[in-house]
Chain A
């Protein structure tokens, strides 16, 4: 290497331990599973083992590929420790359940059993996920639209604030799920009532945060806009709303959390489809492998939706880059 090469030049490959941390962790987990699984049914163990062979194969290919692909190397440097820990935790889970029987069955199945439920019930799980997605999106969209409109009205007009704020403060804090008994009577179908409840759960934080964002618009922005010849529409749509967007996103995130909760509860008590329904249905048959399988799907589903909202926020708030810290 040149003597005057930049000191902070990143090496063109990862350290050996990091390159092979994932296949090593998979081997360890695999090795732990081997003696434990002697007593387990062969079908269960088969797909679990297959999964680990796949992980080992893919991670070795990636360890080689990263030498030629800097972007991949960068990604691996960031993600590999997490992946390693995740794979090892499967081993720990395996030892605690199938190995040492520390947790009571059938409530805490081994990872291999959960994987088998995931695979064998995949059609119903996919169908449930789709139903949940449709319900979530319709409820969330409806709640956001109504919340934005009411938030802008309450934030901008003092008459609207006078009449709207007390309603918001009294009705808003009631958890949407508390309305379930009433919603089931009033709504023509359980789907409609679930959409309405999710929308209600989203409406409150979105309205609250939008209204506070709008009413806290810096007066000097409005003054400048007025001296530039702005009319009321410009002041609302081109000054107050953009200025409130950081606040609005906080409301959107809070609303999303509330919508997950309401979705799952509404599905398990009223609607006869979706992941929430699946969980209580599997629990009724004491098939806890399926319960865990559904929880894993929910985790993946909800965190994906959350990540998409984060991406949207990063795109919309480019102008704030450097100031946002959440």
Chain B
């Protein structure tokens, strides 16, 4: 599989506000001056309580929304609208129910009009996520984990320079989720695509990322960055793992017994 050069992502004072539905004319600030930078090939997690603007930030990077002020770059290019360079996977796999697994995975190639040249890659990507046997099944036959693997393959087939993951494993049960974390890590190690993972699962963030950005709400800001300098595969019950856990929970003001245990 060809390895495409990944790109870094950089945000520079990004602000975004939305109108308040109950009070016309007033705006609520969702993001209040976000700045960060992610190196090419890095796997970074964005954690924080719900409503802190994680998903809003991801949508801005995907180009699905436009920021009020500040700038966003992928590599050296300013983000202006959605593009196949930036893949996005949601918590709901959002597979097109009218297409089979194969056609869902092909969708990006069809959309870009390159299906003809790249048809051979479809099989590779189905093999990569272990779904060859389900090529002709419709999404309603798939389990949650399988659907999410199709969604990953569908995003990866475009060889995006950045893959944005919006709580992609949030709807899965605990065991499937841990298996899928390994799967996503394997895809990342295999392809070295830059990944930005939004999650509310602190263990997931520590287990997977090179670096964690902690966001706080009202308005959403990046409060803290934590480098996770542990070798992979990581031990979910190791002392240093639990230390990071306590540190992050403490930062989000959930520290209590957990922090004490981890020390």
Asked whether, in the complex, the Cβ of B84 is within 8 Å of the Cβ of A242, the reply is no
Q: Once bound together, how far apart are the Cα atoms of A97 and B90, in whole Å?
A: 68
Render B77-98 as a binary contact track against A, CB cut-off 8 A, 1 for contact. Answer: 0000011101110101010111
A227 and B84: CB pair below 8 A?
A: yes
Please determine whether A234 and B110 come into contact, CB atoms closer than 8 angstroms. Answer: yes
List CB contacts (< 8 Å) of A288-326 with chain B.
318-323
> Known interface pairs A242-B96, A319-B140. Does A228 touch B90 (Cβ–Cβ under 8 Å)?
no
Asked if B212 lies at the interface with its beta carbon under 8 angstroms from chain A, I say no
What chain A residues lie within 8 Å of B199 (beta carbons)? Answer: none
Q: Are B84 and A220 in contact (CB under 8 A)?
A: no
The answer on a CB contact under 8 Å between A223 and B96 is no
Complex alpha-carbon distance, A220 and B87, angstroms: 13
Is the beta-carbon distance between A223 and B64 smaller than 8 angstroms? yes
The chain B residue sitting closest to A230, CB to CB, is B111
A224 touches B111 (CB 8 A): no
Given A229-B108, A234-B110, A242-B96: A323 and B140 interface contact (C-beta under 8 Å): yes
- Distance in angstroms between the alpha carbons of A138 and B116 in the assembled complex: 38
How far apart are the CA atoms of A319 and B63 in the complex, in Å? Answer: 30
A interface size (C-beta, 8 A): 24
Report chain B residues within 8 Å CB of A319.
97-99, 138-140
Tally of A-B Cβ pairs under 8 angstroms: 75
**B138-165 to A contact mask, C-beta < 8 Å, 1/0:** 1110000000000000110010000010
Given contacts A238-B110, A319-B140, contact A227 B92 (CB under 8 A): no
Q: In the assembly, what is the distance between CA of A318 and CA of B158, in Å?
A: 28
Given pairs A221-B96, A228-B84, 7 additional interface contacts (CB within 8 A): A218-B94, A223-B94, A227-B86, A227-B87, A318-B138, A320-B140, A321-B140
Residue numbers of B with Cβ under 8 A of A are 59, 62-64, 82-84, 86-88, 90, 92, 94, 96-99, 107-108, 110-112, 138-140, 154-155, 158, 164
The 20 sampled A-B contact pairs (Cβ below 8 Å) are: A220-B90, A220-B92, A220-B94, A221-B94, A223-B64, A224-B90, A224-B154, A225-B107, A227-B62, A227-B82, A227-B87, A228-B107, A228-B111, A228-B112, A229-B84, A229-B112, A230-B111, A319-B98, A319-B138, A320-B98
Residues on A lying within 8 angstroms of B by beta carbon are 218, 220-221, 223-231, 234, 238-239, 242-243, 245, 318-323
